Amino acid sequence: MKKSETENKKTSPTPKNINNYKKAVSLGKELSKTPDITKAEVARKMYELIGDEDREVISMAFQEGANLTQKGSMTYVYNIRRKLKKQQSK
């Protein structure tokens, strides 16, 4: 059996809240232009807007807004969530 072309293509995840997603991406692009701010700080600010989204959606936003690679963006998602979880358990 052959798989159809649509089964082979990965569909991009859709955000629950498109407006917050777009705000986060534009915020990331604006903050990235600031010379004294790191990509981690940009990602944290973006996460504040889209923290309730799936990790794939957050990763996609980080790639668009903070100019991260796919693997880098997933690492940032993991690290930010881990840090927030650690703060909440205190």
53 domain-assigned: yes
- Nearest-angstrom CA–CA distance, 1 and 11: 22
Read off the pLDDT of each residue in 66-82 and give the average, rounded to a whole number: 96
4 domain-assigned: no
Note the pLDDT tens digit of each residue in 19-44: 999 999 999 999 999 999 999 999 99
6 domain-assigned: no
The model's pTM is 0.84
2 domain-assigned: no
Q: How many folded domains does the chain comprise?
A: 1
40 domain-assigned: yes
Q: Which domain holds residue 47?
A: 16-89
What's the pLDDT score for residue 6? Answer: 47
47 domain-assigned: yes
Note the pLDDT tens digit of each residue in 8-21: 456 788 999 999 99
10 domain-assigned: no
67 domain-assigned: yes
- Nearest-angstrom CA–CA distance, 46 and 43: 5
Q: What count of other Cβ atoms lies within 10 Å of the Cβ of residue 85?
A: 9
